[in-house]
Chains A and B, each alone.
Chain A
Amino acid sequence: MNKDVFDYFIKGEKKYEVIIGLEVHAQVSSNSKLFSGSATKFGAEPNSQVSLIDSAFPGMLPVINKECVKQAIRTGLGLNAKINNNSVFDRKNYFYADLPQGYQISQYKNPIVGEGKVLLDMPYGSKEVGIERLHLEQDAGKSIHDVDPLNTYVDLNRSGIALMEIVSKPDLRSPEEVNAYIKKLRTIMRYLGTCDGNMQEGSLRADVNVSVRQVGDKNFGTRCEIKNVNSIKFMQMAIEYEANRQVKLLDEGKKIDQETRLFDTKKNETRSMRSKEDAHDYRYFPDPDLLPLKIEQKLIDDLKKTLPELPDNKKERFMNDYGLNSYEANVLVSEKEISNYYEEVAKLSDKKLAATWMMGDLFAMLNDKGLNISKSPISAKNFAELVQSIKSGEISGRIAKEVFELMVKSGDNPKKIIESKGMKQQSDPKELEKIVNEILTKNKDKVDQYKSGKEKLFGFFVGQVMKQSGGKANPQLTNEILKKLLKG
């Protein structure tokens, strides 16, 4: 989508816009759980990271993990949000086999983080998405239904792990914006080190609220909540399906029921899970086992000071200091590792050319190989040398592509490759003049035609010089010499 005007509308009998709000559940990066000392490693043996607290034995009491609180504050600061000095943990009561306490400790009326905002770079310009709140809560365990035909097994490793629920305002208007929003949130949290954002491992999931309204309407339509979608692609598909379903209902003059729906990834459709009438009554009340969470302003200020540079600031700096345009800067700050790599390269080479080559050949190669930039076969230092060789005219862009390929294969330094393969550009004017003269002599007829006005033939002469030099002739110099000699 490279349009510079927003145009995501659903066309029914009338034109509808889609209103989307997300509740993102992001697993806090921490060594232990929110209220117990159990480990949080992914992929451990079932029930190997479970304490008496996580399994809700009689008389066990929760004690808040301060590191998780700090992570929530850092995230809140990264979302330009208000950190609440007083917040409260509540119990959300419901029965399920993988919820040992019979309640989830969450934050209901008084979350740790209040309103904030996130900036998205859309092709049609910058878009601000409001954050309603961020709160801390416990994850539940996992019910495993597919191991035994008659029994359900429960794995409590995840029970009690800290989650941040980040609730957006209903500010998103298209699946593309949702894509950009999730990626931006993930980038911010990865910069902060507060959530690894690994969707395959379930570290980032979302409940998606979707409603539609006729373009021009001020009021929101009735929304449906699609529960627990765990990939951006599925979120986009679910929204697409759900918005069209709602528009169809409206066109048929039917009402939309407020309900919770599930996205069936196999059939690519959403299905009703429960209606508003059947909604759980969670009987929230303040958890009497925990005192209200008081956060000293000093702690917030101290954390603020140690916050790393965030993507929005880095982008601005890249534009100001390195002369990048908004698009380039955006791509290069999208991941902390990418921005680090770029900065290393930019330190040693032409900043603009480095950006172009990184976003072109380097990204294409990494993408092709399915590699993260931290695993790149070309080191930042070598890549910078390659960029400098192009910039100085030592090699041409075409040769540079060959050198690049060899660098990927060998991991070698580009200088070494250029020298050992004799790929240096022919930039000696005398040598070049000799070649040009030879070509012109051989093609007397064409020279005459050129001189009588067939100027298109210039390209032919360049091609011949390149051929003769094995592609190494400096193109700029070749042009100059050709022009000079053809005049004479």
Chain B
Amino acid sequence: MSEIIKKNLSEIIDLIKKKEIKSEELANLYIDKVNKSKKLNSYITTCFEHTIQKSKEFDKKPNLNSLLPGVPLAVKDLFCTDGFKTTAGSKMLENFIPQYESTVTENLWNEGAILLGKLNCDEYAMGSSNETSYFGNVINPIAKDTVPGGSSGGSASALAADLTPATIGTDTGGSIRQPASFTGTVGLKPTYGLCSRWGIVAFASSLDQAGPMTKSVKDCSIMLEAMAGFDKKDSTSIEKRKENYSKNLKTDVKGLKIGIPKEYRVENMPKEIEELWNKGKSILKDLGADIIDISLPHTKYALPTYYIVAPAEASSNLARYDGVKYGYRSSKGNDLIEMYENTRSEGFGDEVKRRILIGTYVLSSGYYDAYYLKAQKVRQLIKKDFDENFGKVDAILTPSTPSSAFKIGEKTNDPISMYLNDIFTVPVNLAGLPAISVPAGLDKKGYPLGLQLIGKTLDEQNILNVAYAFEKNCNFKNEIKNWWL
């Protein structure tokens, strides 16, 4: 197996720029390994003919000034891709081929990247283990009986297994950061509005945000730079100038104030995670950062708030999948209502149905004030917690997840325990802030664990810098042994 595809994105870009490898050769290396790695089930769709054709075109007229010159990339199957199946991990969209390209993927192709395929994910991005996908669960390359996390589990698995040099996911409550943490990779959820949502199958509109998943912080800065940008087609997109995250990346964190929120020290948290957190603090302290204890008092309400807001929006966003216009339609039923009922009963999986039911309930008249409205108020308090502390600190350091990767099937019958996985990641989505998960160490089982850095609104550069400095001094090494080949 080629050593080249083990490299980071930035190293691969260098090879292309130095003309040491052609785009087509690179594409073939990935295609070869993807073909041999079906056991992981990280890809739902491949489009290798397209990949080869595009890489040949690139090699004929290479534009080496672009950010991702001739780089083959697979993306989460929640991004609509023009002419290629986009399933959102659901039977409902099993055969759906969009006639349009999501803004974020379009941005990647404009920077020279080439689509390799579409990566598995939890159905409509609802899940924390990639076990809700209609196309089967994904396996974490760190160990064959573990989940890769979710919902961007296919992305994390493919990335860690060198089946794509970098990828993108979406993060509604932790769907980028948690799988990054579970697979020893880097994942960043940008400020809400930095990356366009246009063309991404919606889960919860006020929380969904696309972001990069990479093997290194530097790669992460390159990908973010390529995918971010104002889009007038998305009303919640932030109008601002594009930033050069990769050029401005630096390791100097001297004098930066790093907040440590006491509320993230949760009950029954494994000791290893506490230790890892302390390790993170001391690394940053040694680099000259000030470590400051802070309080985010409403943190404990974040999870219940999230599990009201997200299902409420999802229940409405998923109403369009009714069998009338596109996607799955049941052949059973004698009238419109029966067609709806059968289509949605057969087309959606259990977790999606559960969230539609919760969402419909919390929006119902008589319950709206007690649930949805109250959740929106609490959401404001959670945001206020962060706002107040960002007067005192420049970034906040927390664990990414309360545990390392768990076993396949371990939590599938216990939704609450599954939801608890998002406990450290959801507050950030509710507050619309940027956060990055960086690999920080391994637990006793040898499974990776990540730390999360939360930044101020649009302060991606700062958390990338802190993560970069941390990465350089942490000496984390992912030990993936290609056992599935």
Interface positions of A (Cβ within 8 A of B): 52, 55-64, 91, 93, 95, 97, 100-103, 152, 154, 281, 283-285, 288-291
Q: Tell me the complex Cα distance, A281–B202, Å.
A: 23
The reply to whether the CB of B320 lies closer than 8 angstroms to some CB of chain A is yes
**Nearest-neighbor residue (CB-CB) of B337 within chain A:** A95
Are B326 and A289 in contact (CB-based, < 8 A)?
A: no
B235 to A63, Cβ gap below 8 A? yes
11 example contacts (A-B, Cβ-Cβ < 8 A) are as follows A58-B86, A59-B80, A59-B198, A63-B234, A63-B235, A102-B316, A102-B320, A285-B363, A285-B368, A289-B202, A289-B235
Measured CA separation A191–B80 after assembly (Å): 45
Is B27 close to A, CB under 8 A? no
| 19 additional contacts (CB under 8 A) given A281-B364, A283-B363, A288-B236 | A58-B96, A58-B98, A58-B202, A59-B200, A60-B199, A61-B233, A61-B234, A63-B232, A95-B340, A100-B320, A154-B324, A283-B368, A284-B363, A285-B312, A285-B316, A288-B204, A289-B236, A290-B235, A290-B236
Is the CB of B206 closer than 8 A to any CB of chain A?
yes
Establish whether residues A100 and B324, one from each chain, have CB atoms under 8 Å apart when the complex forms: yes
Least distance between B297 CB and chain A CB atoms (Å)? 26
Residues of the A chain whose Cβ atoms lie less than 8 Å from the Cβ of B234: 61, 63
- What is the CA–CA distance of A288 and B236 in the complex, to the nearest angstrom? 9
Given the known A-B contacts A283-B364, A283-B365, A285-B372, are A95 and B98 also in contact in the complex, defined by CB atoms under 8 Å? no
B273 within 8 A of A: no
Knowing A59-B197, A288-B205, A289-B205 touch, does A93 contact B235 (C-beta < 8 A)?
A: no
**Does B324 lie within 8 Å of A91, measured CB to CB?**
no
A64 to B236, CA, bound (A): 11
- Residue of chain A at shortest CB distance from B363: A283
Give which listed residue, B204, B235, B318, B319, contacts A61 with CB less than 8 A.
B235
Interface of B is mostly: loop
Chain B interface residues toward A at CB < 8 A? 80, 86, 88, 93, 96, 98-100, 102, 197-202, 204-206, 232-236, 312-313, 315-316, 318-320, 322, 324-326, 336, 340, 360, 363-365, 368, 372
Contact A52 B100 (CB under 8 A): yes
Q: How far is the CA of A7 from the CA of B234 in the complex (A)?
A: 56
Of the candidates B205, B325, B360, which one forms a contact with A100 in the assembled complex, judged by CB atoms under 8 Å apart?
A: B325
Q: For A287, give the chain B residue with the smallest CB separation.
A: B205
Taking a contact as CB atoms closer than 8 A, the residue among B236, B316, B324 that contacts A103 in the complex is: B316
Please indicate the chain A residues that have their CB under 8 angstroms from the CB of B98 in the complex.
57-59
Which B residues touch A64, using CB under 8 A?
A: 235
Instruction: Give the residues in chain B near A284, CB-CB below 8 Å.
Output: 363
Q: How far is the CB of A277 from chain B (nearest CB, A)?
A: 13
Supposing A57-B100, A59-B200, A61-B197 touch, asked if A102 and B93 sit within 8 A by C-beta, the answer is no
- Cβ distance A84 to chain B, nearest Cβ, rounded Å: 19
- A59 and B202 contact, CB distance less than 8 A: yes
- Taking a contact as CB atoms under 8 Å apart, the answer to whether B236 and A95 are in contact is no
B86 CB contacts on chain A under 8 angstroms = 58
Name the contact of A56 in the complex, choosing from B100, B232, B315, B320 (C-beta under 8 A).
B320
CB B478 to nearest CB in A, in angstroms, measures 32
Return B207 CB to nearest CB of chain A, in Å: 8
| Complex Cα spacing A58 to B79, Å | 10
In Å, the complex CA distance between A58 and B90 comes to: 13
CB neighbours (8 Å) of A93 from chain B are: 315-316, 319, 363
> Chain B residue with minimal CB distance to A96?
B336
B364 with A291: CB separation less than 8 A:
no
Bound-state Cα–Cα, A97 to B198, Å:
24
Closest Cβ of chain B to A244, distance in Å, is 33
**Least CB separation from B193: chain A residue:** A291
Give the distance in Å from the alpha carbon of A60 to the alpha carbon of B202 in the complex.
Answer: 9
Bound-state Cα–Cα, A64 to B96, Å: 27
Could you tell me the distance between the alpha carbons of A289 and B202 in the complex, rounded to whole angstroms? 10
Which residues on B sit within 8 Å (CB–CB) of A63? 232-235
* Interface hub of A62, A97, A102 (most chain B Cβ within 10 A): A102
CA–CA, A290 and B233, complex, Å: 11
Partner of B206 from the list A55, A56, A60, A288 (CB cut-off 8 Å) is: A288
- B199 cross-chain contacts in A, Cβ below 8 A: 59-60
Q: Once bound together, how far apart are the Cα atoms of A103 and B202, in whole Å?
A: 14
Task: Report if A58-B93 is in contact (Cβ < 8 Å); known contacts: A52-B100, A91-B316.
Answer: yes
Residues of B within 8 A of A101 (CB): 319-320
B-side contacts of A56, CB under 8 Å: 320, 325
Within 8 Å by CB of B319, from A60, A95, A97, A290, lies A95
Contact B324 A283 (CB under 8 A): no
Nearest 6 CB-CB pairings of A with B? A102-B319, A288-B206, A288-B205, A283-B363, A59-B199, A56-B320
User: In this complex, what residue of A is CB-closest to B339?
Assistant: A97
A55 closest partner in B (C-beta):
B325
- Chain B residues lying within 8 Å of A100, measured Cβ to Cβ, are 320, 324-325
Once bound together, how far apart are the Cα atoms of A55 and B124, in whole Å?
Answer: 19
CA–CA, A64 to B88, complex, Å?
27
A291-B235 contact in complex given A59-B197, A95-B322, C-beta closer than 8 Å: yes
Complex Cα distance A388/B202, Å?
71
Interchain nearest-CB distance for B430 vs A (Å): 12
> Do B80 and A58 have beta carbons less than 8 Å apart?
yes
Q: Which residues of B contact A61 (CB under 8 A)?
A: 197-198, 233-235
Instruction: For the complex formed, measure the closest distance between the CB of B299 and the CB atoms of chain A, giving whole angstroms.
Output: 23
- A59, B201: Cβ atoms closer than 8 Å: yes
Closest to B336 in A: A97
Counting chain B CB atoms within 10 Å of each CB, which of A60, A103, A283, A290 scores highest?
A283
- How far apart are the CA atoms of A290 and B100 in the complex, in Å? 21
A281 to B361, CA, bound (A): 11
Residues in B whose Cβ lies below 8 Å from that of A59 = 80, 98, 100, 102, 197-202
A284–B366 Cα distance when bound, in Å, is 12
A59-B197, A61-B233, A290-B235 known; A103+B205 contact, CB < 8 A: no
**What is the distance, in angstroms, from B267's C-beta to the closest C-beta of chain A?**
32
Bound together, the chains give a CA A63 to CA B233 distance in angstroms of 6
Q: Which A residues lie within 8 Å of B198 (CB)?
A: 59-61
Interface centre among B88, B100, B232 (most CB of A within 10 A): B100
- In the bound complex, what is the Cα–Cα distance between A62 and B325 (angstroms)? 18
Which residues from A are CB-within-8-Å of B315? 93, 283
A305 to B232, CA, bound (A): 30
Beta-carbon nearest neighbor of B197 in chain A: A61
Q: Nearest chain-A residue to B318 (Cβ)?
A: A102
Complex CA gap A152/B339 in Å reads: 13
Question: How distant is B199 from chain A, measured CB to nearest CB, in Å?
Answer: 4
Tell me which residues across on chain B come within 8 A of A102, comparing CB atoms.
316, 318-320, 322
Partner of A57, one of B205, B326, B368: B326
Which of chain B's residues has its CB closest to A282's CB?
Answer: B365
> Whole-angstrom distance between the alpha carbons of A94 and B227 in the complex?
35
B120, chain A: closest CB distance, angstroms: 17
A57 to B98, CA, bound (A): 8
Check if A283 sits within 8 Å of B360, measured CB to CB: yes
